[in-house]
Amino acid sequence: MQFWQRLIAFRKAHPRLLRNKYDNSEINKSGLSDILWHGCELRKSGWYDPNGLALAMTLGERADGQDIHVMFNMYWEGLEFELPDIKVEKWYCAIDTSLSSPLDIAEMGAEIVHKGTHYKVNARTVVVLISKKNQTR
C-alpha cells in the first residue's frame, strides 16, 4: 500500500508526467529538451529492434521543476544505463523497483543522490531519477 501511495504522490508532484504533448524545439537549464528516448546508451533507443529489452526516457522540465529520467530493464540480467549530463544539478534516485519495501520508492525529499555517469538497473526493474541541486546527503 505504501508503494502505491508514494507513487501517486510522486505523480501529483511531477506534472511533467501528466502531459500528452511535448515540444522539443527548446532546451532547458539542464541542457535537455522536452522528451528524449534512449536505450542503454543515450539517444540510441532501439525502437525498431524486435529483441530490444531496454528503454529509457528523459523528460526535461521547462519551469523550475525537476527533470525526470526513467529506465526500463526487461532483460533477465542487470544492465548499465548511461545517464544524461545535467549541468548544475545531480540525479537522485526516487524509484528502484528492485529494492525491498520501503526502499523501492523514496519519500518525497528523501531521495538518494546518484554519483556517476551510469546507473546499473537490475533485471526486470524500473528506475526513476529526478534532478535536484546537490544537497548534503
19-46 pLDDT tens trace: 777 776 677 777 777 788 899 999 888 7
Q: Which residue has the cell 556517476?
A: 116
Question: Which alpha helices (H) appear in the chain, and where do they start and end?
Answer: 2-13
Res 15: pLDDT: 80
pTM of this structure: 0.89
Q: Which residue has the cell 545535467?
A: 86
CATH of the domain at 59: 2.60.40.1180
Counting the structural domains of the chain, the total is 1
Instruction: Enumerate residues 6+ apart whose C-beta is below 8 A from 75.
Output: 53, 54, 123, 124
Query: In terms of residue numbers, what domain contains 117?
Result: 2-133
Res 64: pLDDT: 64
Instruction: Enumerate residues 6+ apart whose C-beta is below 8 A from 83.
Output: 42, 69, 91, 114, 116, 117, 118, 119, 129
57-111 pLDDT tens trace: 998 876 667 899 999 999 999 999 999 998 778 999 999 999 999 999 999 999 9
> In angstroms, how far is CA 85 from the centroid of its own chain?
13
Instruction: Enumerate residues 6+ apart whose C-beta is below 8 A from 34.
Output: 22, 23, 24, 26, 59, 60, 62
Distance CA 112, CA 21 (A): 30
How, if at all, do strands 118-121 and 112-114 pair?
unpaired
